[in-house]
Amino acid sequence: MTRAERELAEGALFTDQYQLSMAQLYFREGLHERRAKFDYTFRSYPDYGRHQAGYCVFAGLADLLDWMTTTRFTATDLDRLRSQRNSVDRPVFGDDFLGWLEAHGRFDTVDLAAVPEGRVVHPYAPIATAEGPLAIAQILETSLLNHLNYPTLVATKASRVAEAARGGAVLEFGMRRGPGTGANAGARAALVGGARFTSNVGTSHVVGVPPKGTHAHSMVQLFMAIGGGELEAFRAYARTYPDDCILLVDTIDTLDSGIPNAITVFRELAAAGHQPRGIRLDSGDLAHLAVRAARMLDDAGFTETTIVVSSSLDELAIWQILSQIEDEAPRYGVDPDVLTRRLTYGVGTRLITSQGHSFLDGVYKLVAVGADGGWVPAIKVSESREKVPIPGDKRVWRVADHRGSATADVVGSGDQAIAPGTALRLHHPYRESVSRVLAAEDVADVEELVVPALTAGEVLADRSLEAARAWRNLDLERLDPGVRRLVNPHTYHVSLTDEVKLLQDELVEAALRSAT
């Protein structure tokens, strides 16, 4: 796409056709400026097959807010819509509707409340609520879902990878296999979720984190092709980057060529007063090679150099590497804990594409329509009870026990309040007749989760990466270790109050009665 085409495809037309069809219908029926409330929720944690997430990390809000506050229907957009023909070759959109879009087609007229970016989130409880003129809030659906689903998926994966790495730095390397320009949103989401740095240069500069990366196999290949060899390539690298020398040692043979040549160059660097930084392993049995590399580097006196491992890593691969190191390192006289602290992880494809589970099933559902200054709840019935939205104007709280551990997310009605120190009767979000009482001592602290993010065109949310990272770290600390487990995690409880449960039941019954 050319730049002009990209602007067209990423602006107000970054939506599904049916949103515009419905918006025009609302306009024709005089409903387009009616206040409407839509909830963003997801239904299930990513399940990667052999391993499953027990929580998600919310990401994408900053980009969504940027989009909402800078996007409106342009003259070009309207010309394109005007050109659309229907099945009897007449215009799909009328000048009446397009005229209204020209005057009112901007997304900062929708108010957004949301969980702050970086926070831990769970299924069923609303993560964001959009409230605004029906036609605009409807058109917003696709962009909102697009801006939140994928980043939350990647931030969640990044958080798991970072947990597996036990404090070791995770570098996001996935741009080359990432989904087009979505790789930039993916890189930022990875940084929110637990990656310390990314190799993505542009995104690093946008978010204010230095990009990371050294050299590829091609550099060594090049020196070989022009009559030199790996050692000459490493020396050239050390000449150019004497204080940042990390060498990729597996272009020819890791143990017989790469590491010995790296050590030779490290000695030359050290003699010249520079501190060698480390090596990178990108193929083979990474755990075994890391142990052998540590032994060789230690023997040469380079005990402080980092060892970067990369190649098809994800949370299970890292877990396996660290387990193998615990087992194998002592046999080579290497302290496994010391080696583990020295590792850095380059994680690419499997992070940015969330390999194993490539989507978050987030949805955006109409839950209420404005009437007489209040809200009329809206419902959708489904054969699957878990797909029935939680209707009406609502509030969402996170409840914590006296130790500060999160015990449940609670969805209540908009006029409810939850008082700390009071027992709560709670209902399962979709299983009939499953309820429980949360004892008063488990309701030591109550915190509202969904808070104003965009109000009357003004952004109230903190859009910085630092804020999102701080939330992620804080929320993870307050999460039960069983919920954080990489495989078969405990189920975190999301529950409905009596009021919300009753409303949902009544509306479903009324809708089904209307069908007969």
- Site for a copy of itself, residues 184 to 243, rule: CB under 8 A: 184-186, 199-206, 210-222, 224-226, 229-230, 236-237, 239-241, 243
Q: Does the footprint of a copy of itself cover residue 376 (CB under 8 A)?
A: yes
- How many whole angstroms separate alpha carbon 262 and alpha carbon 282? 15
- Cβ atoms within 10 A of the Cβ of 491, count? 11
Of residues 135-154, those binding a copy of itself (CB under 8 A): 138, 141-142, 145-147, 149-151
- Nearest CB to a copy of itself, comparing residues 122 and 277: 277
Q: Say whether residue 305 binds a copy of itself (CB under 8 A).
A: no
Q: For the window 442-481, what string marks contact with a copy of itself as x by the rule CB under 8 A?
A: ----------------------------------------
Whichever of 20 and 406 has its CB closer to a copy of itself, that residue is 20
Least Cα distance to 399 among 386, 388, 409, 384 occurs for 409
Would you count residue 183 as binding a copy of itself (CB under 8 A)? yes
Alpha carbons 101 and 19: distance in angstroms, whole number: 13
**Cα Dmax for the chain:** 88
- Residue 265 binds a copy of itself, judged by CB under 8 A: no
- Applying CB under 8 A, does 340 fall inside the site for a copy of itself? no
Span near a copy of itself by CB under 8 A; candidates 88-96, 321-329, 426-434, 488-496: 88-96
For 330, other C-beta atoms within 10 Å of its C-beta total: 12
**With binding defined as CB under 8 A, does residue 369 bind a copy of itself?**
yes
Question: 353 or 495: whose CB is closer to a copy of itself?
Answer: 353
In whole angstroms, the minimum distance from the beta carbon of 399 to a copy of itself comes to 30
Smallest Cα–Cα separation from 95: which of 76, 85, 82, 77? 82
What is the nearest approach in angstroms of a copy of itself to the Cβ of residue 114? 17
Instruction: Report the alpha-carbon distance of residue 206 to residue 188 in Å, rounded.
Output: 9
- E strands, 336-450, in order: 343-347, 363-371, 374-377, 394-400, 406-413, 424-427, 435-438, 445-448
Q: Of these, 47, 50, 80, 82, which contacts a copy of itself (CB under 8 A)? A: 80
CA-to-CA distance for 222 and 146, rounded, in angstroms?
A: 41
Nearer to a copy of itself by Cβ, of 214 and 340: the residue is 214
Q: How far is the CB of 166 from a copy of itself (least distance, A)?
A: 23
Supply the minimum distance, in Å, between the C-beta of residue 203 and a copy of itself: 5
Q: Are 364 and 138 in contact (CB under 8 A)?
A: no
- In the chain, the N- to C-terminal Cα span, in Å, equals 51
Does 156 bind a copy of itself (CB under 8 A)? Our answer is: no
Q: How far is the CB of 170 from a copy of itself (least distance, A)?
A: 15
354 vs 407, beta carbon nearer a copy of itself: 354
CB of 439 to a copy of itself, least distance (A): 37
DSSP at 6: H
Beta bridge partners of 264: none
| Residue 54 found at the interface with a copy of itself (CB under 8 A) | no
Q: Is 16 in the site for a copy of itself (CB under 8 A)?
A: yes
Crossing angle of helices 3-10 and 75-83, rounded to 10°: 80
Question: Residue 259 or residue 400: which is nearer to a copy of itself going by CB?
Answer: 259
Stretch that binds a copy of itself, among 114-122, 290-298, 362-370, 419-427 (CB under 8 A): 362-370
- Site for a copy of itself, residues 400 to 429, rule: CB under 8 A: none
Q: Quote the CA–CA distance of 516 and 514 in Å, as a whole number.
A: 6
Whole-number minimum distance, CB 122 to a copy of itself, in Å? Answer: 19
Cβ distance to a copy of itself smaller for residue 253 or 337: 253
Question: How far apart are the C-alpha atoms of 352 and 186, rounded to whole Å?
Answer: 6
- Identify which of 394, 431, 438, 436 has the alpha carbon closest to the alpha carbon of residue 416: 394
The helix or strand, by DSSP H or E, that contains position 280, with its residue range, turns out to be strand 278-281
